[in-house]
């Protein structure tokens, strides 16, 4: 197998030794102490060579080192913190943004969308179009020409076979891929030659640019995963340490400390990435290593970047603006707000989380004892003060009534929200929910109107919970709050969003493409998570509506842009009017980046790390 010569990237550093711990940092959280160990790692390995090159300080004219070993290691290491710890670094086995973002450091799609909604090629040699003949005039196929200068980080060449394999991996029912819904319109993928693939659709497809593009388009190496294309997919070692075609590849993924956050134990981890020695762009990437620390809290992540400067970048901060803005004034870091497709919403369980059927709660065939009543759901919607919740987010939140908010042409003009406690109380009275015993909680037929409400464990979600509980108490609805560690909340554990063993949970699921099809599919009947599909669907609400499914099916073949736009608006209106969920806030993704880091180019349609090859440090 031919391999390219090794190259030295960016700083030219290849460090051979492990740098020892530099001490302990203790942070008081609640009544406990959080113990964090900051480990400065230096990395061995460049491709397949065993030669280690040690780092030596560069002497000045009189022989004095210009930069100490520690300072040089600090300068050449990009430190990232995700307060939601990445767990599964296979982008087709996880639906979590934290996992997809971490995976994006190593893996690349054929193309992605930039902030302007324009396609940018990665593994593709060019973007297909009608003009260059790569998009079929009948909309039934698209042909992708691939770059011929791409290699995996282990030196194996990237070819069309890898694209074909990735498709086979995703659609294999034994794999239970989280990306499968994105590829449901694909009939087959053909390898036309080593650097050309053709994607053939089951029907005319106006969204030909969805498969193999963006988050869900990342290509996997066949030679690494072919032994795991089945029920054993989750056991692939590369799920923890991905080797991709991107600028870095993972060499280590280790658990770190178990820390206390309030009364909760949280496991942290650390993933170390090294430069891909076969990366195709000379002079990049710019760092000798990337260290991603996962776990903790949003407040702690913000402090590490903005207060102490121990970390260069913190992703997806949910800390309120009144805490972040004063930290920004310290001058160590700046805030980056990336408004995209994220809607923080209150997910309402339409199934019964208390009745077990064949070992499964929240079974799609067992309706919720009171949330299955539209009047109850409408009452909750009227009773929640969305403006107060949006105020918690400050510069990154806007109160909203729609579930589909972008692109703007797809945002429905037909909906609105109203905070009206009197209307809420009247609806509950009409539904037969009254406080018969005067204890401050409505009841009906011996059942109290009491809701279990789960959110990730962080400040802004707990503040939102407090507002919601206070609002609902005003209409005599009891709410039991259950904050859950984010790593567990977004997992398929019993406390996670997919099993949904609660009445309400608060979260967002963003769009991965400017085309709403890959997002609106989540509320089709086939997307309901259940034991039979290993909890792999995104219809967390367990809501099934034949009219919605019909509209979605029409959208998959409608070529007339205005009619297709109207179909998505009608789908949104069904979700809102039936109160399938309660949209709360249109969110901007807030991150913090050190003032000496440049090159970020956020896009709402991919991870903010999509162009990490261009990130660099400006000052020693």
Q: What is the pLDDT of residues 490-512, one digit of tens each?
A: 888 888 899 999 999 999 887 87
In a shared domain, residues 21 and 137: no
In a shared domain, residues 350 and 495: yes
Rounded to 10 degrees, what is the CA torsion of 606, 609, 615, 617? 140
pLDDT digits (tens, 9 = 90+) for 263-316: 566 678 999 999 999 999 999 999 999 999 999 889 999 999 999 999 999 999
pLDDT score for 264: 60
Whether residue 311 lies inside any domain: the answer is yes
Query: How far, in Å, CA of 509 to CA of 505, rounded?
Result: 12
Name which of 315, 283, 286, 285 is nearest 298 in CA terms. 315
Query: How far, in Å, CA of 482 to CA of 115, rounded?
Result: 36
Q: What is the DSSP letter of 368?
A: -
pLDDT score for 345: 96
Query: How far, in Å, CA of 443 to CA of 450, rounded?
Result: 9
Query: How far, in Å, CA of 549 to CA of 571, rounded?
Result: 9
Contact 355, 494 (CB under 8 A): no
In a shared domain, residues 603 and 583: no
In a shared domain, residues 186 and 81: no
Establish whether the linkage from the previous residue to 285 is cis, with ω within 30° of 0.
yes
Beta strands in 422-538 (DSSP E): 443-444, 447-448, 450-456, 478-484, 504-507
Whether residue 240 lies inside any domain: the answer is no
In a shared domain, residues 311 and 346: no
Q: Decide: helix, strand or coil at residue 222.
A: helix
Name which of 104, 93, 106 is nearest 180 in CA terms. 93
Residue matched to tokens 């901060």: 317
Rg (CA), the chain: 25
Residue 126: alpha-carbon gap to chain centroid = 27
pLDDT score for 8: 35
Residue 224: alpha-carbon gap to chain centroid = 24
Whether residue 206 lies inside any domain: the answer is yes
In a shared domain, residues 224 and 293: no
pLDDT score for 324: 93
Q: Which pairing describes strands 289-294 and 264-275: parallel, antiparallel, or unpaired?
A: antiparallel
Q: Decide: helix, strand or coil at residue 392.
A: helix
Q: Decide: helix, strand or coil at residue 585.
A: strand
CATH number for position 619: 3.40.190.10
Query: How far, in Å, CA of 308 to CA of 360, rounded?
Result: 46
Whole domain around residue 266: which residue ranges? Answer: 1-106+246-332+595-620
pLDDT score for 68: 59
In a shared domain, residues 27 and 93: yes
In a shared domain, residues 357 and 483: yes
Whether residue 603 lies inside any domain: the answer is yes
> Total structural domains in the chain?
3
Q: Decide: helix, strand or coil at residue 323.
A: helix
Query: How far, in Å, CA of 21 to CA of 181, rounded?
Result: 45
Query: How far, in Å, CA of 148 to CA of 462, rounded?
Result: 50
Name which of 366, 343, 344, 339 is nearest 355 in CA terms. 366
Last residue of a domain, one of 204, 234, 264: 234
- What one-character-per-residue DSSP string does 212-266 give? TBSGGGPPPPHHHHGGGSSTTGGG-GGGTS---SSSEEEEEEEEEEEEEETTEEE
Q: Please give the model's pTM, rounded to 2 decimal places.
A: 0.68
Q: Decide: helix, strand or coil at residue 97.
A: helix
In a shared domain, residues 561 and 576: yes
Whether residue 312 lies inside any domain: the answer is yes
Last residue of a domain, one of 210, 234, 258: 234
Whether residue 75 lies inside any domain: the answer is yes
Whether residue 32 lies inside any domain: the answer is yes
In a shared domain, residues 535 and 582: yes
CATH number for position 554: 3.10.105.10
Query: How far, in Å, CA of 472 to CA of 263, rounded?
Result: 26
Regions of the chain with pLDDT less than 70: 1-71, 258-266, 620
Helix (H) or strand (E) holding 342: strand 333-348
Name which of 126, 216, 69 is nearest 607 in CA terms. 216
Residue matched to tokens 């913090």: 592
Look up residue 486 and give its two tokens: 């984010």
Other Cβ atoms closer than 10 A to 529: 23
In a shared domain, residues 522 and 564: yes
Last residue of a domain, one of 198, 214, 234: 234
CATH number for position 186: 3.90.76.10
In a shared domain, residues 230 and 344: no
Whether residue 241 lies inside any domain: the answer is no
260-297 as b/e, with b when 16 or more CB fall inside 10 Å?
bbeebebbbbbbbbbbbbbbbeeebbbbbbbbbbbbbb
Burial class (CB in 10 A: 0-12, 13-18, 19+), 33: exposed
In angstroms, the Cα distances linking 38 to 25, 269, 290, 460 are 8, 11, 14, 26
């Amino acid at each position: 197998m031919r391999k390219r010569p090794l190259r030295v990237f960016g700083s030219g550093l290849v460090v051979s030794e492990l740098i020892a711990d530099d001490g302990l940092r203790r942070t008081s959280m609640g009544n406990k102490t959080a113990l964090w160990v900051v480990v400065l790692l230096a990395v061995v390995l460049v491709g397949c060579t065993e030669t280690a090159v040690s780092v030596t300080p560069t002497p000045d004219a009189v022989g004095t080192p210009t930069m100490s070993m520690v300072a040089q290691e600090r300068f050449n290491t990009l430190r990232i913190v995700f307060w939601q710890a990445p767990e599964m670094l296979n982008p087709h086995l996880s639906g979590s943004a934290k996992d997809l973002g971490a995976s994006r450091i190593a893996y690349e799609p054929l193309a992605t969308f930039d902030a302007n909604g324009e396609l940018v090629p990665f593994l593709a040699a060019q973007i297909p179009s009608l003009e260059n003949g790569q998009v079929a005039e009948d909309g039934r196929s698209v042909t992708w020409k691939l770059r011929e200068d791409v290699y995996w980080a282990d030196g194996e060449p990237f070819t069309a076979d890898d694209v074909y394999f990735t498709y086979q991996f995703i659609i294999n029912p034994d794999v239970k891929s989280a990306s499968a819904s994105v590829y449901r319109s694909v009939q087959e993928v053909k390898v036309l030659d080593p650097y050309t693939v053709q994607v053939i659709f089951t029907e005319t497809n106006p969204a030909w640019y969805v498969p193999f593009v963006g988050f869900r388009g990342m290509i996997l190496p066949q030679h690494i995963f072919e032994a795991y294309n089945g029920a054993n997919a989750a056991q692939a070692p590369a799920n923890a340490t991905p080797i991709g075609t991107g600028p870095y590849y993972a060499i280590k993924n280790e658990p770190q400390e178990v820390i206390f956050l309030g009364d909760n134990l949280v496991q942290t981890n650390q993933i170390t990435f090294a430069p891909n020695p076969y990366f195709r762009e000379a002079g990049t990437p710019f760092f000798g290593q990337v260290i991603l620390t996962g776990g903790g809290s949003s407040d702690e992540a913000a402090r590490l970047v903005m207060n102490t400067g121990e970390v260069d970048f913190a992703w997806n901060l949910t800390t309120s603006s009144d805490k972040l803005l004063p930290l920004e004034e310290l001058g160590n870091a700046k805030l980056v707000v990336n408004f995209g497709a994220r809607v923080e919403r209150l997910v309402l369980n339409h199934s019964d989380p208390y009745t077990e059927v064949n070992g499964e709660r929240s079974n799609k065939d067992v309706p919720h004892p009171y949330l299955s009543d539209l009047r109850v759901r409408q009452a909750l919607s009227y009773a929640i003060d969305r403006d107060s919740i949006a105020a918690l987010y400050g510069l990154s939140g806007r109160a909203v009534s729609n579930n589909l908010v972008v692109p703007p042409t797809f945002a429905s003009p037909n909906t609105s929200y109203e905070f009206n406690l009197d209307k809420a109380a009247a609806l509950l009275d009409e539904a037969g929910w009254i406080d018969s015993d005067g204890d401050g909680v409505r009841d009906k037929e011996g059942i109290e109107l009491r809701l279990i409400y789960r959110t990730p464990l962080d400040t802004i979600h707990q503040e939102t919970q407090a507002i919601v509980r206070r609002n609902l108490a005003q209409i005599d609805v009891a709410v039991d709050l259950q904050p859950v560690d984010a790593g567990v909340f977004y997992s398929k554990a019993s406390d996670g969003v997919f099993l949904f063993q609660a009445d309400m949970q608060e979260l967002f699921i963003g769009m991965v493409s400017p085309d709403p099809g890959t997002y609106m599919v989540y509320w089709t009947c086939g997307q309901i998570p259940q034991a039979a599909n290993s909890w792999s669907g995104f219809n967390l609400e367990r809501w099934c509506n034949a009219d919605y499914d019909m509209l979605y099916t029409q959208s998959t073949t409608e070529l007339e842009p205005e009619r297709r736009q109207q179909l998505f608006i009608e789908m949104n209106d069904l979700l809102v009017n039936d109160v399938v969920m309660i949209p709360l806030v249109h969110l901007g993704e807030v991150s913090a980046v050190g003032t000496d880091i440049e090159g970020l180019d956020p896009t709402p349609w991919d991870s903010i790390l999509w162009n990490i090859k261009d990130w660099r440090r400006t000052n020693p």
